[in-house]
Amino acid sequence: MELYSIIKRPVATERAVILNEKFNQVVFEVDKRANKIEIKAAVEKIFSVKVSKVSVSIVKGKVKRTKFGMGKRNDWKKAFVTLADGSTIKLFEE
């Protein structure tokens, strides 16, 4: 897979900010087909940082009611990337 197609976007939630401050972790939405090795390589190459650990989880899409009946949002993969000591990614800082 291409590096820029693996990482889709950073996840900007309250939990993601707390993880960044306390544990030096960054949360990304990634391609569902990407594995931990590919995610690590993409983050290291794109942001020029050293990654020590990658954890992933599949987020199930919510079932929502529409005017056409019940519908479901897409499932997506979330990656928790732990950066090595001294490495930082400035995404949401002022």
The CATH class given to the 3-83 domain equals: alpha beta
pLDDT at position 93 is 64
* CA dihedral sign of residues 26, 32, 35, 40: negative
Q: How confident is the model at residue 91 (pLDDT cuts 50, 70, 90)?
A: confident
- Cα 61 to the chain's mean position, in Å? 16
Q: CA 19, CA 25: separation in Å to the nearest integer?
A: 5
pLDDT at position 90 is 84
What pLDDT digit, counting tens, does each position of 33-90 carry? 999 999 999 999 999 999 999 999 999 999 999 999 999 999 999 999 999 999 999 8
Q: CA 46, CA 65: separation in Å to the nearest integer?
A: 39
pLDDT at position 35 is 97
Q: What is the pTM of this model?
A: 0.89
